[in-house]
Structure 1
Amino acid sequence: YVVVTPVDSQGVEGHVSKQVKVTPRSGLGVLNDTGITFGGGYRLGHDKETQGRRGNNTNCTSNIKSKQDCNQGRDATHNDDSDGHAGFSFTKISNTGKPLAATATNWSCVKDEVTGLMWENKVPDVFNLHNSHSKYFWYSTDGKSNGGKVGVEQPHSSTNCIDDLDSVFLGGHCATNTQNFVTAVNEAGLCGKKDWRLPTVEELRSIVDYSKTPSIDMTYFPHTVANFVWSSVPNVNKNKSTPWGIHFFNGHGERLDASTGANVRLVRFWE
């Protein structure tokens, strides 16, 4: 159980918060790297045409490589593309929850062997619950985590979700908002599990590969669209709900109005 006591800059304590029950969970422990395997700022040459100009070095070799991202972390120590680009390490998971070989051509989830997170895989099928192009409005009725704003349940008359290929509403296995989508996926028992949820911003960032566009390993996450993806993290804004997410065009963290349709990729903790 936890209570919080606010203290101002003068050391004056405020009212103690209510007691809250907390379930301990082990941290992720290890972080993924960036996917960057090239260096930047290298001198291109010494002749008149290139003198003073700089550019990227594709193989991370230089007298200044120790200062480069490409020579730090897992991208340098575990640069093996057999299970994910550079330092990433993924395992394909069947819809029954069984690990598959890297050569498998049909999988429903992806386990991140570095962070211990298990991710939803997407498919290019507009009538599939996991359609890669489906967009959802951000919506959460959980007052403990929505930042005081529930978001937008359904601003349109249709009961279907949005496909970003043509910006029209779709039929089939769709949900109008993020909360409904989480419920639908858990009811279906994706990969044999029923504890799927929206990821945090940092969890989404953990699968960003900054060397690619879309900013993710497409070998393990095929059909990913280079769009904004919702996180579970709200933004404190008294006027409207503008939750956070990651844009998989460049891997940047951004905020978006909850009434704007955006992609979703669910996550859970691997046992």
Structure 2
Amino acid sequence: MKALALIPLFSCIFITACGGGGGGDSTTNIESSVNAGPDIQVIEKIDFTITAQGSPADGTFTWQQVSGPSIDGFPLEGAEQTLTAPDVKADSEIVLRVSYQSTGNSTVSDDVLISVSSNNQLPIAVITQTAPDTLPSVYQDTIILSGVDSSDPDENGMVNGYFWELISGPDLDISSFDDSTLSFTHPLLEANTTLLWRLTVTDDEGGEASTQFTMSLNKTNELVAANAGDDQNVEEFDEVTLDASNSETVTDTYQCEWQQLTGNAETLSNSQQCVSSFFASDVDTNTTLSFEVTVTDSKGRTDTDTVFIDITPKALGLINDSGMGECYNNTQRINCGSDDFPEQDAELGRDSFANRIDKAGIGNLAFDYTKLNQFADEVDDSSEDFSCIRDNVTGLVWEVKSPSSGTLPNTTLRDAQNSYYWDIGDTTTDADSTANTTCPNDTSCGLQTYINEVNAIDFCGGTNWRVPTYTELLGLIDYGKQGQSVLIDLAFFPNMPEAGAIDNVNLPYWTSQTAADGTSLSQAYIIDMSNGNDLAYPKENNAYVRLVRSR
């Protein structure tokens, strides 16, 4: 490529000053030109020379890089330069520009194109065995082969791909063939066995190389390995599964037979199969059973293994009792156990064993509550600062209402005096309650809106708050408080609203269950917290709500 700078010819004619006889004098500047030389093709990291020619010959040459992978040293002075092609990942092009300045003339320039070919060196694949520490390996040892010592001889190269292949050897349980390491368990073998592996590595320019690795695995002394499974902890009446299907033999087939060694006799189903089961018997104290499995392969070789089953008595139930701790006749309190008034609440269920129950928290008789803060963390039983209650019997977490404040609708989101109509799941009802009348919400005083708002604030660390079922809400009633204004433990559920403020029902609280009265689905059950009674209540009417969630 060549460029020229044209310098115009000037003549000066001075009628009175250019000499006599009408003669004249003129000066001419010669035009400048430069040639950067022919385009060049080179291989990466190889030296090459560029030579420029300029006219007239008294000028100076300056080289600069215009584009392409960087070459150190620019700008450079002089017509001839020896350079080293850069290390490139792929074929690349470099444009160099020479500028030429001759005396008295403007600067001219020309470009030369340097095509650099990538000369990728293939990676070097290397396999090493890194585990087990003690060789030779034995049955059930974890064997690890590593390709991390593989390398790329290119200065700026790297190995970024691995692929393992088992060319010959037994079937192995391998989770991945494309990591830098490969692991497997030494299998059960009837004879010494040779394995042949191939590892192919790929560098960052797509170059591939492979290597092979031969290793030997020794035979196993015992050719049958019975496996009765892990020891188990269960509760009485639970179904227990005995599973020996992870046993191993060198033959394709094997059989299992179970027998009980210790403990109360249990009835096994399919005792001649590798997977058997039984229902744990009723126990009064912690009991341990043991079972042995005998595994026999198709050549009559056997092995045995034993599993232990620890059985504990079940808890006294996952629902709360009534809270009644005293017995009565028709008119007054009596001693429990009377033949005339037998099997009263105080004699049955969790409450009758309350003094023997190891509680996680506290509560009347068998009730067992734990106070939680706004993040669902446990706080001290005596704390006055808590936001939720965990029922340790049912596992449910209950909402604790905020104190009543202001005059409706100028109340807080979870204010105790807020009331709602029933529209769970946007079920169509005849509800016509307007917004911002019995609650602070501007759009709806329906249950579903309130549920959504509480879940949106991740109240007490949960987003699965809901209206309780009939049975769940009834489980909060302590009938031992009959005669009091509220049949719920105010130490854990404070801030109750004023009784009788809604439709002449003292303390109506919604359940999630529609009352199927045979004619319509327009009513749902409420429970009156002042007396424990239930009532089928029109869904368009207002009632209070205490949300609940599962942990």
Q: Shared fold by TM > 0.5?
A: yes
**Within the alignment, does 1:74 sit opposite 2:355 as a pair?**
no
Deviates more, 1:112-121 or 1:64-73: 64-73
1:176–1:84 distance in 2 versus 1, CA, 3 Å: same
Determine the C-alpha separation between the residues in 2 that align with 1:259 and 1:136: 9
Structure 1 residue 175: Cα displacement: 5.3
In 1: Cα distance, 2:446 partner to 2:421 partner: 4
Residue 214 of structure 1: aligned partner: 486
Q: CA deviation at 1:151?
A: 2.5
CA shift digits 1:47-82 (9 cap, x unpaired): xxxxxxx3124xx54544752211222212115897
- Once the 2 structures are TM-superposed, how far is the Cα of residue 252 of structure 1 from its aligned partner? 1.8
1:233 matched to which residue of 2?
513
What residue identity is the alignment partner of 1:181?
Answer: Y
Cα separation, partners in 2 of 1:259 and 1:123, compared to 1, 3 Å:
same
How far apart are residue 206 of structure 1 and its match?
Answer: 1.2
Asked whether the 8 Å contact 1:139–1:152 carries over to 2, the reply is no
**1:240, CA displacement in angstroms?**
5.6
Letter in 1 for 2:480: S
Amino acid corresponding to residue 96 of structure 1 in structure 2: F
Larger Rg, first or second structure (1 or 2): 2
Which residue of 181, 190, 195 corresponds with 2:464? 195
User: Compared with structure 1, are the counterparts of its residues 229 and 68 closer, same or farther at alpha carbon in structure 2 (3 Å cutoff)?
Assistant: same
1:148-195, Cα deviation, whole Å (9 max, x unpaired)? x52355x244x2142xxxxxxx54799501010100100111101111
The answer on 1:129 being equivalent to 2:413 is yes
- Unaligned 5+ segments in structure 2 are 1-316, 406-410, 498-505
Q: Equivalents in 2 of 1:118, 1:179: separation in Å?
A: 19
Counterpart residue number, 2:143: none
Question: Aligned AA for 2:525?
Answer: W
- SS of structure 2 residue aligned to 1:130: coil
- 2:389 matches 1:110: yes
Shift of 1:268: 0.6
- 1:141-160 equivalent positions in 2, closer than 5 A: 141=425, 150-152=428-430, 155-157=432-434, 159-160=435-436
- Relative distance call for 1:31 and 1:74 in structure 2 (3 A) is same
* Large movers: runs of 4+ above 6 Å: none
Higher relative contact order (CA 8 A, sep 6+): 1
What residue number does 2:325 align with?
37
Report the CA distance shift for 1:132/1:115 in structure 2 as closer, same or farther (over 3 A). Answer: same
Identity between Structure 1 and Structure 2 (%): 28
- Give the match's secondary structure for 1:78: helix
Q: Alpha-carbon deviations, 1:214-268, whole Å to 9, x = none?
A: 1211111112345111111112354461111211111122210011110001011
CA RMSD of aligned residues (A): 2.6
Contact 1:152 1:258 in 2 (8 A): yes
Aligned length: 215
